[in-house]
């Protein structure tokens, strides 16, 4: 999956959401795989850090030659947690930061940079994610669940295979029948097969006047935005992270 391969360019519209933070070194508390290629990293949390669910920060690794290699990752912990959590899909073939993260262990250090992000929860609606594009929604959904406000929010999650679904049990537990999966590369009884299409969305969504939250790789974003336009969804209702 070429998810997020073009993320070196942070979209200009994100700039307005920047919160400048002094570079802060934090220790890894624990690190491990939660899918075959996704790491979950818990770290210390700097006292001065604040963020809203859905926001991201730039991270580099505090290791010779890697301190200036910053990459954006979303906080998947809650703002009031006394730790930070990141959920990171790794790309060994890029030989970049996510590959280097695979070598890290407890007590190794990361450097946190600015906090930013275009995605913030407004009202009940439909979350549409592709692969690691689910990360801002993990934080938002955890936040809503912590306040008992999950309501009728729905998550449509597109992946290649069942094994690529990040946190499937937690998301199912949180959303129940409102957790809808679609797999492009695998036919699996319980899940829809193929890519997100207009008919697929019409089959799963009855109310197109709600908020739509969209995050994923550029081709998926383009497709979904075109479909939503065809379905006459008001542009102002679409909240998206172009990564």
Ligand X SMILES: Cc1cc2nc3c(=O)[nH]c(=O)nc-3n(C[C@H](O)[C@H](O)[C@H](O)COP(=O)(O)OP(=O)(O)OC[C@H]3O[C@@H](n4cnc5c(N)ncnc54)[C@H](O)[C@@H]3O)c2cc1C
Kindly tell me which of 77 and 98 has the beta carbon lying closer to ligand X: 98
d(CA 141, CA 87) in angstroms, rounded, equals 14
Least Å distance between CB 129 and ligand X? 11
**Using CB under 6 A, which of 21, 84, 85, 91 touches ligand X?**
91
Comparing CA positions, the residue from 216, 201, 94, 96 lying closest to residue 154 is: 201
Give the three-class secondary structure for 135: helix
d(CA 17, CA 107) in angstroms, rounded, equals 31
Residue of closest CB approach to ligand X: 96
Say whether residue 157 binds ligand X (CB under 6 A): no
Say whether residue 5 binds ligand X (CB under 6 A): yes
Binding flags for ligand X, 134-153, as an x/- string (CB under 6 A): -x------------------
**Using CB under 6 A, which of 7, 34, 104, 144 touches ligand X?**
7
Comparing CA positions, the residue from 147, 99, 90, 139 lying closest to residue 117 is: 139
d(CA 119, CA 108) in angstroms, rounded, equals 30
Q: What do you get for the CA distance between the two ends of the chain, in Å?
A: 14
List interacting residues with ligand X (CB under 6 A): 2, 4-5, 7-8, 10, 56, 71-74, 87-89, 91, 93-94, 96-99, 117, 132, 135, 241, 243
């Amino acid at each position: 999956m070429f998810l997020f391969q073009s993320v070196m360019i942070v979209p200009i519209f994100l700039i307005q959401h920047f919160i400048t933070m002094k570079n802060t070194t934090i220790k890894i508390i624990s690190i491990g795989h939660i899918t075959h290629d996704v790491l979950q990293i818990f770290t210390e949390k700097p006292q001065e850090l604040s963020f809203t669910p859905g926001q991201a920060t730039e991270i580099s690794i505090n290791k010779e030659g890697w301190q200036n290699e910053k990459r954006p990752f979303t906080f998947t912990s809650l703002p009031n947690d006394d730790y930070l959590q990141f959920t990171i899909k790794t790309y060994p073939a890029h030989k970049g930061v996510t590959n280097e993260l695979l070598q890290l262990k407890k007590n190794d250090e990361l450097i946190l940079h600015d906090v930013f992000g275009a995605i913030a929860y407004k009202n009940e609606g439909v979350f549409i994610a592709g692969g690691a594009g689910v990360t801002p929604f993990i934080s938002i959904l955890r936040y809503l669940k912590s306040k008992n406000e999950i309501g009728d929010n729905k998550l449509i999650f597109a992946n290649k295979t069942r094994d690529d679904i990040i946190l499937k049990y937690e998301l199912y537990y949180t959303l129940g029948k409102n957790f809808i999966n679609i797999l492009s590369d695998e036919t699996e009884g319980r899940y829809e097969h193929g890519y997100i299409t207009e008919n697929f969305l019409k089959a799963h969504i009855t109310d197109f006047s709600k908020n739509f939250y969209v995050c994923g790789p550029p081709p998926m974003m383009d497709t979904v935005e075109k479909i939503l336009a065809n379905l006459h969804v008001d542009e102002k209702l679409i909240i998206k992270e172009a990564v």
